[in-house]
Structure 1
């Protein structure tokens, strides 16, 4: 159990990583508001399931409507949490596209419309900015807080074909997280980036992937020189992932970060069962980041200020 009960919001918590993270934090003793796209009513199963989990495990897991691309709904959710708890200690940025559009994307880059790229970018990156602008004033006021960003090994790992919109959006989110990290330390706010590798169970990434909007262009690729390479890509992803790759490991990584003492949380944590490519690349990238900031005279911004 956590040494101190924190109040947290987890976006995209109706399924996948988000649901596992919200439940793991609640079981660890924190008060967790699980962000659901669906409005709350007696017939919405995600709210009933959250309430049942909370009761069965004697913990504080509460569903809350949170559409991360709607400023008014974000503000309403944050205002509700503040009214009920008086503070927000943690935000886990995990939002994904709604089920009808898919969690990620699969198809030739050229065949996706600019609107599809924008949809992916808005949910994976711009949503974080929307939430931060509403939550961070509360954290800055008390001089303490934690942002946890769920990134992806695809950001700095192998860039396999057919996943361009998702890869680009997650890269933008990771870059945003790095900048926020140094700008928030002097406000006492920590940032931790969690980097999941590839998972083939428990997430349905490819089964629900967004398909290209321009079918004509897609066919020119997939019925032409790239015919069959989509299947090779899918099979390859399946082969590189260990059968032990359990998405619950991502939730456990987040729980450990949240439960760590303020000021001692890691900047980046990898959860890879597919060879650890991102761990290697990010090791170099983050070292270059620290070295460059130090040369610029900004080393102090790498350390979170304690209240």
Structure 2
């Protein structure tokens, strides 16, 4: 049980890591607003299920309409949470969208759409939430990243990996710019969990299908077996819930003790070692330029 209840917004909480995180945080005693779009139609069943669970287990858990592709929606969602609970303590940036296909077959507009969800979506939510967090002089941003930003890049996932890399860079810059307002940053880096979420099942594709077909003859067999190959990297006992568990752990830590980056990668491919070394180099840089207080948000794992 959480030592102190916090009010938390989780984006992209209709399914997958988002829903698992929202439920886990509520079960730990926090008040959670599970952000999702289209709560009145497409996601109405998810909203109903969430509210039933909250009633059955007496949880402070409820859905809030939040489309990260709309600044108006983000502003309204944060306003709703503030009206509902009177405060806001943390935001979990989880909303994202995966696409699969040859990089060449994605138009510039296709890439922009992926970037819009995975990067600009977090920016919109930040612009809605940060004035309140800055005003109270405390807060926490948790960014759900991807191990691709610190490890290898399997083919046919380029637009998604590019967007997650951009989100990671945005999170790092925000960390330095927000720490003096008392707002901490933690980047949680899941590995390639191929079950327990709808990430792969709901993946999109390129709009230029003619160019996509060009890749079928030389790469068709490889593409067809891509998910199976990723599955073989994951131990059979891997649980998507472990990502939610780590977010709960981070939220529950005292301010100044939260890790800057935390890997939840059951494949143990070594990318977390690269990340730890990079974080230490960055910490030394901040020390040299005099940003001492940032070091409190870059604690080792």
Give TM-score scaled by structure 2 length.
0.94
Matched, 1:190 2:184: yes
**What secondary structure sits across from 1:228 in the alignment?**
helix
Matched, 1:233 2:239: no
Match of 1:45 in 2: 45
CA deviation map 1:15-58 (0-9, x unaligned)? 000000000000000100001111347x9212211111111111
CA deviation map 1:121-162 (0-9, x unaligned)? 111111111111110110111100000000010111111100
Cα drift, residue 211 of structure 1: 1.3
Matched, 1:75 2:68: no
Which of 113, 116, 132 is the matching residue for 2:107?
Answer: 113
Give TM-score scaled by structure 1 length.
0.92
Measured at CA, do residues 206 and 44 of structure 1 come closer, stay the same or move farther in structure 2, by a change above 3 Å? closer
Match of 1:217 in 2: 211
**What secondary structure sits across from 1:249 in the alignment?**
helix
Matched, 1:199 2:193: yes
Equivalences for residues 123-134 of structure 1 within 5 A? 123-134=117-128
Higher mean C-alpha deviation, range 184-193 or range 79-88: 79-88
Matched, 1:273 2:266: yes
Matched, 1:159 2:169: no
Tell whether the 8 Å contact from 1:144 to 1:189 is kept in structure 2 after alignment: yes
Consecutive aligned runs of 4 or more in structure 1 exceeding 6 Å deviation: none
Match of 1:61 in 2: 61
**Structure 2, unpaired ranges of 5+:** none
Match of 1:292 in 2: 285
Match of 2:34 in 1: 34
Cα drift, residue 238 of structure 1: 1.3
* Separation of aligned partners in 1, 2:270 and 2:226: 17
Measured at CA, do residues 277 and 105 of structure 1 come closer, stay the same or move farther in structure 2, by a change above 3 Å? farther
Cα drift, residue 232 of structure 1: 4.2
CA deviation map 1:216-265 (0-9, x unaligned)? 11111222x33422134333211111111110000000000111112211
Tell whether the 8 Å contact from 2:133 to 2:139 is kept in structure 1 after alignment: yes
Cα drift, residue 10 of structure 1: 0.3
* Separation of aligned partners in 2, 1:33 and 1:227: 42
Match of 2:239 in 1: 246
Tell whether the 8 Å contact from 1:183 to 1:301 is kept in structure 2 after alignment: no
Tell whether the 8 Å contact from 2:16 to 2:199 is kept in structure 1 after alignment: no
Measured at CA, do residues 207 and 39 of structure 1 come closer, stay the same or move farther in structure 2, by a change above 3 Å? closer
* Separation of aligned partners in 2, 1:205 and 1:130: 22
**What secondary structure sits across from 1:226 in the alignment?**
helix
